[in-house]
């Protein structure tokens, strides 16, 4: 269930209108002027607090427009945000994403303060597997390395040899130079990787609650309703969706496709906000898609970001015994080349 929206009740003044006008231009096609009067006071206050705290805001592609285009300093997929977290010189990192992303940022910046505006912003994939599950898989497949999707807890990462994202999964698997790997936890991403490599893939039955709801039949119907549409699909989708897509890739790879090919009409088969955030940047492109929202991403709101910067909470903390081992797996991931 998507969290109920919070009240937006800071006053909208002439000074705020003037100081945020350039930011509203970034979202004016998707955010109404009435909505902006509610958002702008929070945006202005967040921008001021970022300077006071020496804070940086990282936002995933699935965040809403007023966050993604107005208060985020760095946007991207999980790999982009992981690398940004490792290189930032800010004292405070505010992760506008989900819990595992904030943990990843903390792993790579143990001395920095990492804030997640809502600790309940979780992930169905992360919740599908535990550290005990990984140890059991290792026992069942002795000597086989474990490649773990970044959508997992720090405890699971600590039991892994290397992490990956959907952007570099194939490259990471092949970089190990072994005939067989355990690939966790997304079953559909594992199947996609298996189709791109000769390495034998041992899978887990995890799924993304957003991507698993798309169907191949929806894609067929979409093509029938919208002639000439180009379909881009995330590899976390079921195989029948990928089979009916024109292009399969990570969120960043899909963005790259749009930038390079500029299709007149495109459907991005992933979380709805991805396409919504591209409308402003590509006004000449018509974005159409079946719409599934991530309830966890929707937990991050402007009031919660502001509260986090005001109170410096909720702060992400990781048991050092877990963090030391998990950090190795994440650092290996950030060194892998991007598979586009």
**Token digits of residue 299:** 């937990």
Is there a domain that residue 158 lies in? yes
Q: Which of 262, 304, 312, 298 is nearest to 283 (CA)?
A: 262
Q: Looking at residue 289, what is its pLDDT?
A: 67
Residue 235's domain spans which residues? 211-287
The number of distinct structural domains making up the chain is: 3
pLDDT for position 6: 67
Q: Exposed, middle or buried by CB within 10 Å (0-12, 13-18, 19+), for 140?
A: exposed
Residues 97 and 25 in one domain: yes
> Both 215 and 118 in a single domain?
no
Where residue 10 falls (left for φ over 0; alpha for ψ -120 to 50; beta otherwise) is: beta
| Structural domain contains residue 1 | no
> In this structure, what CATH number is given to the domain that contains residue 189?
3.40.50.10800
What digits encode the pLDDT tens for the residues 275-297? 888 888 899 999 986 778 899 99
Low-confidence ranges of the chain (pLDDT < 50): 1-4, 337-340
In a domain, 167, yes or no: yes
- Rounded to two decimals, what is the model's pTM? 0.90
Strand partners, 113: 92
How high is the pLDDT of residue 155? 98
What pLDDT, on the 0 to 100 scale, is given for residue 2? 44
Let me know whether 180 and 59 are in one domain: no
The per-residue pLDDT for range 159-184, each reduced to its tens digit, is 999 999 888 999 999 999 999 999 99
């Amino acid at each position: 269930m998507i969290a109920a929206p919070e009240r937006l009740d800071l006053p909208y003044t002439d000074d705020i209108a003037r100081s945020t006008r350039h930011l509203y231009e970034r979202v004016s096609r998707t955010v109404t002027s009435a909505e902006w009067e509610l958002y702008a006071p929070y945006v202005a206050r967040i921008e001021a607090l970022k300077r006071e705290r020496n804070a940086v805001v990282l936002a995933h592609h699935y965040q809403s427009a007023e966050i993604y285009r107005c208060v985020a300093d760095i946007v991207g997929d999980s790999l982009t945000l992981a690398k940004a977290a490792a290189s930032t010189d800010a004292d405070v990192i505010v992760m506008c994403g989900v819990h595992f992303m904030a943990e990843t940022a903390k792993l790579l910046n143990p001395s920095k303060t990492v804030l997640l505006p809502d600790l309940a912003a979780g992930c169905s994939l992360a919740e599908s597997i535990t550290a005990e599950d990984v140890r059991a898989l290792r026992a069942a497949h002795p000597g086989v390395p474990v490649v773990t999707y970044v959508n997992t807890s720090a405890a699971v990462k600590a039991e892994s040899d290397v992490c990956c994202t959907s952007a570099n999964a194939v490259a990471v698997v092949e970089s190990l130079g072994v005939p067989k790997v355990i690939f966790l936890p997304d079953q559909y991403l594992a199947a996609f990787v298996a189709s791109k490599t000769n390495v034998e893939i041992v899978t887990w039955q995890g799924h993304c609650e957003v991507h698993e709801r798309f169907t191949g039949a929806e894609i067929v119907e979409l093509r029938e309703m919208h002639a000439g549409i180009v379909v881009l699909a995330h590899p976390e989708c079921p195989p029948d969706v990928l089979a009916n897509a024109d292009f399969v890739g990570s969120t960043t790879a899909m963005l790259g496709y749009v930038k390079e090919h500029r299709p007149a009409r495109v459907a991005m088969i992933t979380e709805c906000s991805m396409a919504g955030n591209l409308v402003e940047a590509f006004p000449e492109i018509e974005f159409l898609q079946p719409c599934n929202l991530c309830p966890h991403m929707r937990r991050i709101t402007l009031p919660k970001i502001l509260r986090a910067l005001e109170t410096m909470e909720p702060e992400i903390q990781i048991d050092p015994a877990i963090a030391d081992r998990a950090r190795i797996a994440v650092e290996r991931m950030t060194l892998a080349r991007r598979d586009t």
